[in-house]
Structure 1
Amino acid sequence: MSIDDLDSEFELDLRLTEENLDELYDNAPCGYCSCLPDGTLVKLNQTLLTWLGYSRQELVARRCLQDLLTVGARLHYETYCAPLLLLQDQVREISYQLQCRDGRRLAVLLNANLRRDARGEPLVVRVTLFDITDRRKYEQELLRAKAEAEAQRELLTVKNAELLRINAELDNFVYTASHDLKQPASNMVGLFEELKRTATFHDPDAAGMMNMFEEALRQILSTIEGMTDVVQLQRQPDQGPEDAIDLHSFTQDIVRSLQAAATADFVLDFAAVPTLRLPRTSLHSILYNLLSNALKYAQPGRRPRVLVSTTLTTGGPVLLVRDNGRGIDLHRHGEEVFQLFRRFHPEVDGSGMGLYLVRRLVQQAGGRAEVDSVVGEGTTFRLYFPEA
């Protein structure tokens, strides 16, 4: 490119910057007007006239700035904005509504400056108006959304209080029912034992029926006791002070208390995390339920083997209980494992409450429970606890 070409391009750029000031004023993206101290309009740009729907002749020297405002805006301008202008010569970002010729209302943001003459007397007010229709709609939408959110929150508060009341009533009902049923059921067990001891039955089917009845009684008592445990857990979320529990000795004590422990192999490995800070009653209930289940649901024909261990993750300690038992079909029952009254091996005695209690106790400690299982191979429970 030659020097002449550069000069020509430079001259062209300069020509592009030579704008007509009157055209800039008239077609600015905001409204401009000038008025006398009493509000009489003396000059308006075309943008403002277009917004309002008036001609220049209809407004200049014939109408006041206040006449362009809605009633509420006019009152505010005369009692607040105009005195403030006289006091400090400017006002900034005051939200008003303009009254258009066709009855529409236009939301604007007003900025104004008061110019004075050489003697300091008010001379002219220069006003800039910005169309904030979209902004106003957005603000109104935010207010509407906020009001809806507050209404929903109040509704949820009411519903939550109602649910708490219903849950409390259900807890009282279950606790009362389980308490009232326990004694009659225990009496039935005693009477049945006495019946077996003293009565003679000549029917060859009597022995089988007696066994079925005895099994039904045990199931009733187990369910009643489980219901009582669940309600007590609901009523007493605080299981007592947290202790730094030595897992090895604590777990050994639980293993010794299990009747079928002698027929199983237990492997305890707490090298990674030797202690856990939990309420002793909570940890006892967790381990007792998991270890007794490992024995109860052992695979027929295979000696039970149970591994209880700990690992340490970035989130905190993990307690693992792994067995080689019957396993659970997680494809069918994965969502139900920790739910109340869920049983996956009907041929084995149980109330369906143990795993529910385990998960609730772990959650109360701030953790979570997970399970992996393969049918016929075994089950692994992982209990994640927060870092102490």
Structure 2
Amino acid sequence: IGLQFIVLTLTYIFDQQQNKLIEKIETQNTKLKLSQEEIEAQNEELTQSQEELSSKRNLVESQNLALIEAGKIIEQKNQELVNKNDELEIEIEKRTKELVEYTQQLEQFAFISSHNLRAPIARILGLGNLLEISHDPEDEAQIKKNLIVSAQELDRVVKDLNTILEIKNSNHQIAHTVRFEEELKLLLVGLEKDLNDSNTSLTFDFSEAPLIKTIRPYLDSILINLISNAIKYRDFERRPEIKIKTSQVGEFICLSVSDNGIGLNLKLVQKKIFTIYSRFHTHVEGKGLGLYLVKAQAEALGGKVEVESKEGEGTIFTVFLKSKE
């Protein structure tokens, strides 16, 4: 009985401890399950956070790329603005220079024109006064002839002024395609007498640049003035030779007119050669307007004119012309 009691008691104690252990294990399992659920929830939150972070990182990278591209565009635009500013400064400097030159030309023209107008007007007034007090028919006839000469001189000065003003306001002129050879042959009809009387040899070569789109009257005037000058200022000790040639130089068509005439000392006349009413040889008649017109018309056509010359050898005028679109 005693042994049986002990066995039963031990069995009871074992069962109690086993039940407590099972309860403890179940409690721990429950805690572990809760912890696992919490961990899974946290993992899910972490996963979502990572996805959000990844999405935001992609968005940031996309925005960074957009910012980099925008920066490149801004840099490009800034460079374009710098280039535009540089171009504007160059254009302003060019326009300012042109305005200064134009103002100087106007001042020079106003001064010389007023001088040239004053002389014939003074003669006309003086002759008019003489005519009032004269009673001799022969004197009156001579006075009237002198009045006509003075009036013609006055008319010439006014016409020169009109010619120059027309050049300065040439924007309304229409450009035409002109073939140099055909145009020159037409102009030579009017110069035939001067060429024959002076026994001048004239040759031309337009093979490199046969045509140009330009204002025809200006081209004609340039050719006529340069050819006429070559004939007028020829060397009487040798047969005059005039050579006309065209060539393409960059954006310009170059028209050169060379002669074997008496030439010029450019060291002395370089600054005055294209000024209005400037003359450097007095053994022939002239107004000193031709080369001024050549320069003014070349510039009106978007070009320029250059000169090379040696006394006793001849002169080369090179006119740079832009072909108008």
Tell me, yes or no, if the aligned pair for 1:371 and 1:379 is still in contact at 8 Å: yes
Unaligned runs of 5+ in 1: 1-86, 93-142, 201-209
Match among 148, 169, 181 for residue 235 of structure 1:
169
Per the TM alignment, residue 199 of structure 1 is displaced from its structure 2 partner at its CA by 3.4
SS at match of 2:177: strand
Root-mean-square deviation (CA), in Å? 5.8
| Distance of 2:312 and 2:101 partners within structure 1 | 41
Structure with larger RCO (C-alpha < 8 A, sep 6+): 2
Counterparts of 2:196 and 2:174, CA distance in 1? 29
* C-alpha spacing 1:166/1:377, structure 2 compared with 1 (3 Å): closer
Counterpart pick for 1:331 among 267, 284, 288: 267
Aligned to 1:378: 314
> Secondary structure, in 3 states, of the residue corresponding to 1:199?
helix
Does residue 293 of the first structure (1) align with residue 233 of the second (2)?
Answer: no
SS state of the match for residue 279, structure 2?
Answer: coil
State how far apart, in whole Å, the 1-side matches of 2:316 and 2:230 are: 10
1:199 has 2:133 as partner: no
Structure number with greater Rg is 2
Structure 1 residue 241, shift from structure 2 partner: 2.7
Q: Deviations over 1:314-363 (max 9, x none)?
A: 53543222222221111222243223343322554433332122122223
CA contact (8 A) 1:264 1:303 kept: no
What does 1:98-109 correspond to in 2, within 5 Å?
none
1:68-147 correspondence to structure 2 within 5 Å: none
Cα distance change, pair 275–268 in 1 and its aligned pair in 2 (3 A): farther
Letter in 1 for 2:169: R
Secondary structure of 1:256's counterpart equals: helix
Task: Measure the CA separation in 2 of the matches of 1:256 and 1:352.
Answer: 23
Determine if the alignment matches structure 1 residue 312 to structure 2 residue 252: no
Deviation at 1:286, TM superposition (A): 0.5
Equivalent in 244, 247, 265 of residue 200 of structure 2: 265
> Which residue of structure 2 aligns with residue 82 of structure 1?
none
Number of the residue aligned with 2:52: none
Which is further off, 284-293 or 249-258?
249-258
The CA distance in 2 between the partners of 1:271 and 1:187, in whole Å, is 49
For 1:229, what is the secondary structure of its paired residue? helix
Aligned length: 245
Give the percent of matched residue pairs that are identical in Structure 1 and Structure 2.
23
Q: Using a 3 Å threshold, how does the CA distance of structure 1 residues 367 and 349 change in structure 2: closer, same or farther?
A: same
- Which residue in 2 is equivalent to 1:56? none
How far apart in 2 are the matches of 1:387 and 1:292?
24
Distance in 2 separating the partners of 1:215 and 1:324: 35
- AA in 2 matched with 1:264: N
Correspondence for 2:44: none
Q: Residue 292 of structure 2 aligns to a residue in which SS? A: helix
> What is the distance in 2 between the residues matched to 1:292 and 1:186?
30
Cα distance change, pair 336–306 in 1 and its aligned pair in 2 (3 A): same
CA distance in structure 2 between the aligned counterparts of 1:357 and 1:348, rounded to whole angstroms: 19
Structure 2: unaligned runs, 5 residues or longer: 1-54, 62-77, 132-136
